[in-house]
Amino acid sequence: MNEFRELAVGDDSAGARADVFLAAALSISRAAASRLLRDGHVSSSGKPVKPSQILTPGILLTVELPAPQPLDAPARDIPLFIVYQDADIAVIDKPQGMVVHPAPGHGEDTLVNAALHHIKDLSGVGGALRPGIVHRIDKMTSGLLVVAKHDAAHQALARQLKDHSIRRTYLALVEGNLKEDAGTVDAPIARHRRDRKRMAVDPQGKPAVTHWRVLARFGAYTLLEARLETGRTHQIRVHMASIQHPVAGDPVYGPKSNRLNLAGQALHALRLELTHPGTGQAMSFYASPPPSFLAALRKAGWSGEPLWQEAGEAAQ
């Protein structure tokens, strides 16, 4: 059975687009809000509301939330390393090379397919092909992400992502020698205007902020701790390339020469910190870099001394 909600537009939302307001009010993505609006599930005074409609204070939106649809993604017995799991969430250490959710060319070999086998219960907010998926990491990026096991947990985690209270710390091996010890890249990101498979720094893009700190210098390479304040597609990769220090091995934004013989970008989601959506407890999770990342570090000049535990400690 479909659920109905009524949302009043307050003075603080005056002039907002309907899709932006709805995404914030329901703690869903703007794309999901746009689908609800385009499909006629949002009305005001009996008239459908369009995604681009500018809202005025005092109007009342009636939102019809369709009942969850059966999952289209089949469960598959694919190995999956679950760092933590309870009744509300699961934290997964995704291997490099695994796609997060089904897409053209990756229909049944994704993290979602594996999670449906190993975890069973996943929220439906992400849609039939993205159950439980609160945030994503790229196929060739390894490391931590959290999935929600029911809709209330999903919405609570989505709110934390929106207000930047979820902290995501990465290890990034980048090209070149950064002279500064730390810095911030504050540059909006949008879809590349000519190549739609790429992202790019664009003044008209969405706000994007990446904080970075040098952990070690190897001459031709630098190991960084990179912390996301926002979570745009390819954010760290685009931002580091924009300051002339692309992530080593990045086939899209890096140099054509791959001197470390990497299979993909040397980027690893090291630590994830969040507030548990059920208990309110502060939680911190850590995932060691995979062997491929360590091998690249050794080729770059790393002697084996501990570096990234310090990165995780600093993120707290």
167-314 folds as Pseudouridine synthase (3.30.2350)
Quote the tokens at residue 91. Answer: 């934290």
**What single letter denotes the amino acid at residue 255?**
P
Instruction: Please tell me the CATH superfamily of domain 3-65, with its number.
Output: RNA-binding S4 domain (3.10.290.10)
Side-chain half-sphere exposure of 17, counting CA atoms within 13 A = 11
| pLDDT per residue as tens, the chain (316 positions) | 567 888 999 888 888 999 989 888 886 778 888 989 999 999 999 899 999 999 999 999 999 887 655 456 678 888 999 999 999 999 999 999 998 876 655 557 888 888 888 886 776 655 554 567 888 899 999 999 999 988 889 889 989 998 999 999 999 999 999 999 999 999 999 988 888 778 999 998 999 999 999 999 999 999 999 999 998 999 999 999 999 999 999 999 999 888 999 999 999 999 999 999 999 999 999 999 999 999 999 999 999 998 887 544 433 3
For the chain, give every domain's residue range. Answer: 3-65, 81-162, 167-314
Q: What CATH code is assigned to 81-162? A: 3.30.2350.10
**What single letter denotes the amino acid at residue 13?**
S
Active site residue 39: no
Catalytic residue, from 138, 151, 186, 195: name it. Answer: 138
Q: pTM above the 0.85 mark?
A: no
- Say if 3-65 and 167-314 have the same CATH topology: no
Q: Are 220 and 300 in contact (CB under 8 A)?
A: yes
